[in-house]
Amino acid sequence: MTLKSETLFVIDAIQSIHPKAEFVVGETYESLDWHSKDIDKPTKSQFDEALAKIKSDWESKKYQRDRAVAYDPIPEQLDQIYHDIDGWKTRIKAVKDKYPKL
Tens digit of each residue's pLDDT (9 = 90 or more) over 46-92: 999 999 999 999 999 999 999 999 999 999 999 999 999 999 999 99
- With 70 as the cut, is the pLDDT of residue 44 above it? yes
| Alpha helices, DSSP H, located in 1-102 | 6-17, 44-60, 62-70, 74-83, 85-98
Provide the pLDDT for residue 67: 97
Alpha-carbon span 71 to 57, nearest angstrom = 22
- Determine if the pTM surpasses 0.75: yes
Alpha-carbon span 56 to 47, nearest angstrom = 14
Q: Which of 71, 62, 102, 66 is nearest to 89 (CA)?
A: 71
State percent of the chain over pLDDT 90. Answer: 89
Longest dimension (CA), the chain: 60
